[in-house]
Amino acid sequence: MFPSFSLRYARLPERLRAECLPTPVERPRLVAFNRELADELGFDLAAFEADEAAGALAGNQVPKGAEPVAMAYAGHQFGNFVPQLGDGRALLLGEVVDRHGRIRDIQLKGSGRTPFSRGGDGRAPLGPVLREYLVSEAMHALGIPTTRALAAVTTGERVFRRIPEPGAVLTRVASSHLRVGTFQYFAARGDTEAVRLLADEAIARHYPHLADRADDGERYLALLDAVAERQTELVARWMGVGFIHGVMNTDNTAISGETIDYGPCAFMDTFDPRTVYSSIDEQGRYAYVNQPVVIQWNLARFAETLVPLIDSDGERAVERATPIIREVSERFEARWREVMRAKLGLATDEDGDGELAQALLDAMRAGRADFHLAFRYLADAVEAAAEAPRLKDIFESRDELEAWLPRWRERLSREEASNADIVARLNAANPAVIPRNHRVAEAIAAAEEDDFEPFEVLLAVISDPYTTPDTEVDYTRPPRDEERVLRTFCGT
């Protein structure tokens, strides 16, 4: 059933990983399987058999050709450096080449203890597995770079966190699992050769256009620049859909530029730039508004690991790398303006567009408006004579919105586009549905009682996010006060 594995990471020097077998579970049951992704990866779906797949995807049988390894990495967690983290509950089975010729990692998450477990059980509760499945697939459907979910398997066992919870294993697919923290692990040990091997692997996997640069220092400086470009664009796109990662530690910053490790993540409902959902982020370090600052900080930590590769003279290496880090904020602002212009229905670029976008956000904050519906309902207000009741009704106070709308319409008049074209742009840039926290919580609660229908319906809805769903349940609706989910949890 599985495609042929290559073992690129497993063939790197032993100090980069630990060979480890998954721990078998009692009663594996396949509760979600991404057939579209499986086909893309080259799985033999004609030979697919659910019970056999459940055993392999839970770790009870290692697929033919796979050699499971736990990857070593370190990381800054909430600003504090931890020199050894690593895959404490995950195993990389190997890499496959998909039908588009791309190398993809296949990893089991929640498959038992590894040498990096640090006393943990190596397991995952069902709730975080389903949250990652839903949110990562929603991000993919929104066109935002992300790891993906191939399967979820329940284990028939209990996992003990705050309370006993059903256990599960997620099968995750990624362009790679190289992280800033992977580089930090070896840089902290003075292992420059390992850092070089990782950098060369990252270039080969994600930035092959850099491989032909003859000058080593220039090549690794270009790697830093390329990662900075992808990460700033990624964070701008997160914020364009109101996404809050929740744990933007350096070990959760992927060199590929994909979103990785959906722990206490959430999509904001009522717009407030200070919004935090993570139960462990007591100081708001990773609040919505802080994400651009954090990614600059994380990239600076990545730059530190590359210093010996950029130049043998440390001071000169820092001088060469510093401008790239300083430019991160400017790059973010440029990407953010692009995101916001699209959300406002603008195809051209004018100097005042950033201020126009900020004025709408200020109006949303003052009016306690829902972030997603405010943008989606702009399509109702394109025409000057439009009353736009749906838009106005989601603002508790409307004065700032009423003052903003004429400014926006005047800007639209310079677009040389019909109202119909602008409405189409707005509907293509602003999703009708995202995995709202209360809906995710409902799906998880039902699944924990062995009812997976709400999960399956929600998954279908968020997989087509720009279409208003024709369902009995209104998945576009913000939560009522009693439905609000204010805290989310990692599951570790």
Active site residues: 251
d(CA 251, CA 38) in angstroms, rounded, equals 27
Residues 147 and 260 sit within 8 Å (Cβ to Cβ): yes
Residues 42 and 98 sit within 8 Å (Cβ to Cβ): yes
Q: Which of 281, 270, 273, 279 is nearest to 248 (CA)?
A: 281
List alpha helices for 146-257, DSSP H: 180-187, 192-206, 216-240
d(CA 1, CA 287) in angstroms, rounded, equals 42
Residues 40 and 171 sit within 8 Å (Cβ to Cβ): no
- Please calculate the CA angle 63-147-176 and round it to the nearest 5 degrees: 65
The dihedral through the CA atoms of 105, 110, 112, 114 has a sign that is positive
d(CA 388, CA 167) in angstroms, rounded, equals 47
Region of 173 (left: φ > 0; alpha: ψ -120 to 50; beta: rest) is beta
Q: Please write down the long-range contacts of 308-316, taking CB distance under 8 Å and 24 or more positions apart.
A: 308/192, 308/195, 309/192, 309/195, 309/196, 309/199, 309/216, 309/217, 309/220, 310/217, 310/220, 310/221, 310/224, 311/217
CA torsion, ordered 448, 451, 457, 463, to nearest 10 deg: 40
Phi, psi of 164 (to 5 degrees): -65, 135
d(CA 382, CA 425) in angstroms, rounded, equals 11
Query: Length of the chain, please?
Result: 492
Instruction: Give SS3 for 100.
Output: coil
The structure tokens 């009663």 sit at: 27
Report in angstroms the alpha-carbon separations of 34 from 73, 110, 127, 269, 460.
Answer: 29, 18, 18, 28, 11
d(CA 154, CA 326) in angstroms, rounded, equals 46
257, two tokens: 């530029």
- Please calculate the CA angle 235-239-241 and round it to the nearest 5 degrees: 125
Residues in contact with 288: Cβ distance below 8 Å, sequence separation at least 6, in sequence order: 239, 242, 244, 268, 272, 273, 274, 275, 276
Report in angstroms the alpha-carbon separations of 169 from 29, 125, 262, 422.
Answer: 10, 8, 14, 44
Burial class (CB in 10 A: 0-12, 13-18, 19+), 453: exposed
